[in-house]
A = this chain, B = another copy of it.
Amino acid sequence: MSEATQLFTFLPYLLSITSNAVSGRIAQEYREQFGLSVPEWRVMAVLGDRGPQTQRVLTSLTLMDKVAVNRACKVLETRTLASRRPNEQDGRSHLLELTDIGQAMHGEIMPLAVAMERHLFRVLDTDEVAQLRSLLERVRDTAGDLDGPSTDSGNFGLL
């Protein structure tokens, strides 16, 4: 019994539980306030922050799957939060940019995001937040980008 392997004491487990709790709260808030999913919000955040981008760039900036990015973009487009403009340097891709409505929503979302972050981590003081950030970054780099963009599926064993 109780071989010091209590599951709860597992750091990966604790990490997963904590992340799910935080992500769940945030997702719930975005959904209720703006009807946005997390992928959609992430795309909006990048577009508002960096200006018009291709889907390719968006996938590498959000570290999401390219399919997820594509669907998020379609939703944003149908909701007229973003629009597509042809990319003159490459006929395959389009440039996505926020519309005026999208800009306005972005202006409301970002303060909310900052407030959420402050609220969820309110038990930590400034130094502790910095510590946590540093620790997580190091672990992330060690664990490797396993959930990074899918680097265009397969196409490896061709030669």
Binding site for B on A (CB under 8 A): 1-3, 5-7, 10-26, 28, 42, 45-46, 49-51, 61-63, 110, 113-114, 116-117, 120-124, 128-129, 131-133, 135-147
Contacts and interface: CB of A to CB of B under 8 A. Distances in A.
A7 B21 CA distance: 19
B62 A146 contact: no
A116 B116 CA distance: 33
A146 B63 contact: no
B139 A123 contact: yes
Interface of A is mostly: helix
Contacts of A137: 14, 18
A95 B137 CA distance: 42
A61 B61 CA distance: 37
A117 B61 contact: no
A124 to B, nearest CB: 7
A128 B139 CA distance: 11
A22 B18 contact: no
A114 B3 CA distance: 11
A143 B24 CA distance: 9
Contacts of A142: 120-123
A15 B95 CA distance: 29
